Amino acid sequence: MTMNKRLIFITIFSAILLMPYMLMAQDKQRPLKGWKLVWKEDFKGNSLDTNSWKRCRVGTSDWDRHMSPLDSLCQVKNGVLELWGIPTPKGLNDSRPFITGGVNSKGLRSVKKGRVDVRARFGGATGFWPAIWLMPDNNKPWPTGGEIDIMEHLNYDDIAYQTVHSSHTVQKREPQSKQGDNSAIDKDGFNIYSVEVYDNEIVFYINDKKTFTYPKMNPTPEGQYPFADHPFYIILSAQLGGSWVGKVKIEELPVKMEIDYVKFYERK
């Protein structure tokens, strides 16, 4: 092989090796026509920014009954937020068989009639239910203010679910319309999960491909479209177990959810 050919080979080979990192860097800076970036979280450093995030507290719902403040369940490493689901460590004063981590931006970061992008990936385990979702940043009781599920994943599925909830959908009032859908994902890699909220519709995307649209009805039934009335904050949660995902196989834990970034946009 001549010197010139060696140089060409080395250049091409190096470019192939660097391509994933180049694509990641480009993705972080990708422009969105018609949108203005108003806040982003790239998870730099080695700790959670408490000006933007707080830990999810334990509750009584399927999604939060196993939440724990244990530091090891929520870690910032190498530009990624890691949220874990683990068997409860021996010696911890906690009778639950497993515990999980989650964060939210309630009262700290919110967006109204905007776009949200989250780049994330997650492992698979029986009973694992990672989720990325929006809730109203006010005191309206659920589901009056609405809920927007940007992404929910179950077990080892190669699809993700995107759904809206309101008093209209929960109470199954007429007329009804399709409130969500599921779409294929790269279940082993990072995907970008997005939603855009407008006065008259909500549009979901995965990797910038439109996946589902939820319209405001005309005339609008009571409680059918509260989504443009107030700002929403974001929840990132590594959930285990529940009536939808089913029982957890503890022997398949630990399992984690990784978030590369979160971005909030508003219309220019």
Q: Are residues 231 and 168 in the same domain?
A: yes
Which range of residues forms the domain containing residue 101? 36-267
Q: How many structural domains compose the chain? A: 2
| Residues 46 and 148 occupy one common structural domain | yes
- DSSP designation for 72: G
d(CA 116, CA 149): 11
For residues 11 and 20, what is the distance between their CA atoms, to the nearest angstrom? 16
* pTM summary value: 0.89
Structure tokens belonging to residue 41: 């979280």
244 and 263 both lie in a single domain: yes
- Beta carbons within 8 Å of 97's beta carbon, 6+ residues apart: 87, 88, 248, 250
3-state secondary structure of 20: helix
Percent helix / strand / coil, the chain, rounded to 5:
15, 40, 45
Please indicate, yes or no, whether residues 79 and 212 belong to a single structural domain of this protein: yes
pLDDT (tens, 9 = 90+) of the chain, 268 residues, equals 555 555 544 444 444 444 443 444 445 556 688 999 999 999 999 999 999 999 999 999 999 999 999 999 999 999 999 999 999 999 999 999 999 999 999 999 999 999 999 999 999 999 999 999 999 999 889 999 999 999 999 999 999 999 999 999 999 999 988 999 999 999 999 999 999 999 999 999 999 999 999 999 999 999 999 999 999 999 999 999 999 999 999 999 999 999 999 999 999 8
Indicate whether 24 and 150 sit together in one domain.
no
For residues 22 and 104, state if they share a domain: no
Give the separation between CA 232 and CA 235, rounded to whole angstroms.
10
**Is 188 found in the same domain as 74?**
yes
Does one domain contain both 60 and 10? no
